[in-house]
Chains A and B, each alone.
Chain A
């Protein structure tokens, strides 16, 4: 077409007009045709490797969406089964630990400060509910006098610091210390709490301040159990009761001595 137009022009116009574009040779046109044909072929059959040897994954309709579908399914099943198995094992282990280790009250409640008294409840009980220091609290001082009293016999507490007996539940030992000033409990501290389990640490960190504030307001071991910290609360009350008993016994003994 262009050649025909150029051929039809006169010499004057040829000198004014810019030189015509070079005419593509037949060789080049054939090369272009071949490239176009290759591109068309790739679009039709994209799974065929290109000249670089790489496939085009985005354009491959036959490519699997999940090449490791079965392996992934196996991984899911194994993970779920492992988690379920571990949960069941933990439950079983906890049940076994609970049945094999009933609550025990051990040790000696000790006092420091006003009177040199020693309470020896040291009773071992089958459960925390019966592990109160119902046993006699024996108090002795330098005069050698021994006073035995029930927990409700005296209402006043001798000043001093009293450490309760250790009550061990299935999570670990709990021991409480009280400070009595002016016949009133002014300070309560948990000397020992279970530390073997991180959940216990977390629970006790939350429960012991609540229990302490309850003790300070109630001025006795008749306090509410903290929700979610039942074991700790029960053991806390047991140890607290032994410390209070010791303070009462000390007060009674001091009165008798006087």
Chain B
């Protein structure tokens, strides 16, 4: 009697599972999709944070030169973490068979069949981030000016990542995204503005003395 009741309960559970989960797609794919979305958001925020940290570090006006090693190390850490999350984002998107994203779509700009522009921005942003990070390790091999120009590729890369998120992100239309993303972008743009203004001021101060 007891066994029969338990068996009946198990059968009901199995029937429910079959009807609700398996029939409606692979749950692994569903989880991969959730991880893809989450890592994409986190990677974008980390890119913005790394950018903000970099400009705060390089801008003398912010006074962060007091502990340059700490700022630089955290800047590097945030950039590396952004790259790691971006790679996880790509891997889970590729592994989600429902999504049907091919390797070419993820690695070749303009190779996507649908929403080509959004995919292209994402691919270019990924390459820009990778170049900015991987050229930081053999920094000594480059001339200072060359390295700086290459490293500044991270700025358009981050901008393109934000555009990619806005265009193709599943959560781009949510209220939280629409509020938090501008705040995060503002947090990155502010030190950028401070840096640019500081640079312009220092140049204008140097010009008369040179003449």
Contact = CB atoms under 8 A, between A and B. Distances in A.
Question: Are A and B interaction partners?
Answer: yes
A238 to B, nearest CB: 15
A76 B80 CA distance: 10
Interface of B, helix, strand, loop or mixed by DSSP: helix
B42 interface: yes
Interface stretch (A5-13, A199-207, A215-223): A199-207
A34 to B, nearest CB: 32
Contact of B42 (A71, A86, A94, A206): A86
Nearest to A203: B98
A173 B205 CA distance: 63
Interface string B111-126: 0011100000000000
A71 B74 contact: yes
B25 A230 contact: yes
A19 B85 CA distance: 74
Where chain A touches its partner, the secondary structure class is: helix
A230 B170 CA distance: 19
Interface in A181-219: 196-199, 201-203, 205-206
A229 interface: yes
A79 B77 contact: no
A90 B99 contact: no
Interface stretch (B29-37, B148-156, B190-198): B29-37
A71 B38 contact: no
A90 B34 contact: yes
Contact of B99 (A85, A202, A230): A202
B74 A90 contact: no
B26 A228 contact: yes
Nearest to B92: A87
A198 B77 contact: no
B106 interface: no
Nearest to B80: A72
Given A64-B69, A87-B34, A90-B34, A228 B29 contact: yes
Contact of B33 (A68, A83, A199, A231): A199
A72 B34 contact: no
B56 interface: no
Interface residues of A, number: 36
Interface in B147-177: 168-170, 173
Contacts of B52: none
A79 B30 contact: no
A84 B41 CA distance: 12
Contact of B114 (A72, A82, A202): A202
Contacts, number: 103
A68 B114 contact: no
A203 B42 contact: no
A91 interface: yes
Given A94-B30, A228-B100, A83 B35 contact: yes
B81 A83 contact: no
B145 interface: no
A72 B74 contact: yes
B169 A66 contact: no
Contacts of A153: none
A75 B74 contact: yes
A67 interface: yes
Interface string A81-115: 01111111011001000100000000000000000
Contacts of A64: 69
B100 A82 contact: no
B24 interface: yes
A84 B38 contact: yes
Interface of A: 63-64, 66-69, 71-72, 75-76, 79, 82-88, 90-91, 94, 98, 196-199, 201-203, 205-206, 227-231
Given A86-B34, A196-B173, A227-B97, 15 more contacts: A66-B77, A67-B72, A71-B74, A72-B81, A86-B41, A87-B38, A90-B38, A91-B34, A94-B34, A98-B24, A201-B114, A202-B101, A203-B99, A205-B113, A230-B24
Interface of B: 23-26, 29-31, 33-35, 37-39, 41-42, 45-46, 67, 69-74, 77-78, 81, 85, 97-101, 113-115, 168-170, 173
- A-B pairs, top 9 by smallest CB distance, nearest first, are A228-B98, A86-B38, A67-B69, A72-B77, A68-B73, A68-B74, A87-B34, A90-B34, A83-B38
